[in-house]
Amino acid sequence: MTKNMKRKGVDTIKEAIPALFSAEAEKALLGLMLTNPELVFDQIRERLTVEDFYIPAHRILFEAISELHAKKIAIDLTTVHQYLVDHHLDEKIGGAALLADLVASFATHLNLESYIKILKEKSILRRLHSAALTIVQNIYENSHSVSQVLDQAEKQIFEITDLAVTRSTVKASVEIQKAIELIDCFHKRKGRLFGIPTGFHHLDQITTGWQNGDMIVLAARPGVGKTALGLTFACRALKERYDQTKDLWIKPGYSVGFFSLEMTAVQIMLRLLAAIGSESLQKIRRGELEPASLEKLRMLADDAKEWPFYIDDSSDLTIHQLRAKARRMKNQFGVDLIIIDYLQLLHSDSQQAKENRQVEISEISRGIKALAKELNIPIIVLAQLNRRMEEGRSEPALHHLRESGAIEQDADVVILLHRLESDSVTDVTKIPYLIHVAKQRNGPTDKIEVLFNAPYTRFEDPLRHEIEQSYA
């Protein structure tokens, strides 16, 4: 592909785009800010930013008026002109003539909503135009990696979509007030849980729940119970959510997205019903349930139809495909937590990754961490430990993470799951396990003993059970 051909593709897009700004709407809004600041300023400043203005002189004026308002200085023709002179900006906007022209405009505050809408729509069109040019450039430069081009394109479009439906950044004074209100809320709740609950009392105490933007790695050897623990975390999140306004835990719970690369969606739901319904998964599969148990599961299944639980059982996913699906899941269903089962089943289609498995795992790990930050939700990703930990039957450690040290580096929290060997176990259906918080970027590490209820394929917290019994 020659440079001329590439240039021709970009130029074609430019020619197809209509006018990307409205000088009249920009003048109308600035004129109203000069003549009726007390009526319009807060509405305009709340919904528009300087980037929404296209003409450079108008951008300068918008920032000047905003600065005066922030300093509680009266806004009129004289004060704004003096600000521009003091900051050597007067000539850049064309002198006092532009200000006089704006003040003399026939704009009315009754049409404020229309002016804001025009400006916002033009601003979004400009961003789409810029994104389109970037996408065309990426197509020509990365034609060997379609998934990478798609991932970058979708990320840009989603950012613009979010911009179209969310309001702009508010003044610092508003954010300070929110911070004080949050501090008051912390004080009233006496340090109680603020993140998404884990289902384990001591783990909640250590982590304060799953936090937005965090990548949590749950690692264990094959067959130890990663999926069961992941579903236990999902069950607890689905149970109820904290309503800050009411200061109560309410139903339904947090929305959970589950990517199952190994099991089908039906298999996941069977496990979930067995765990929540306290019924043996083996009896369910063998058709040996008593009529009462069968009726209980049917009633539970009716309730489950309302659960905010979303499963994607696509196999053979690339990290770019997973990121795209997660964005759609967040945008469509507003998921609060994503669980991925499991990391080593993902792959990357970059050329470097095809030649080196460690590079591939590093790319996948970085992609998941970036996704957690982008969506601003916690992401729990299950991972396998390498076979070296089986030598001497020792407890797992961070260096046992399979195929790449990048997983440890990218993760905010690393949890290692280990089955304990014990001769004192009397109930063979409840097997002792160790949850080892081996890394936590923003908190302490510790080890927590839990029980695995094998028939129900769920993990249980002995300490939480004791606390609940004491209040019974």
Catalytic residue among 63, 121, 154, 262: 262
Q: β-strand 446-453 against 309-312: which pairing, if any?
A: unpaired
Active site residue 175: no
The whole-angstrom separation of Cα 170 and Cα 119 is 18
Q: Which two tokens stand for residue 409?
A: 């580096």
CA distance 434 to 456: 18
Nearest-angstrom CA–CA distance, 399 and 422: 25
The answer to whether the beta carbons of residues 440 and 412 sit under 8 Å apart is yes
Q: Ramachandran region of residue 300, left (φ > 0), alpha (ψ -120 to 50) or beta?
A: alpha
208 CB-contact burial (10 Å; exposed 0-12 / middle 13-18 / buried 19+)? middle
Nearest to 338 by CA among 399, 255, 418, 411: 255
Q: How far apart are CA 219 and CA 226, in angstroms?
A: 7
Q: Letter for the amino acid at 397?
A: A
Share of the chain residues as helix, strand and coil, in percent rounded to the nearest 5: 55, 15, 30
Q: Where are the beta strands (DSSP E) in 138-206?
A: none
Block residue for tokens 């006496």? 190
3-class DSSP state for residue 220?
strand
Q: Which residues are catalytic?
A: 262
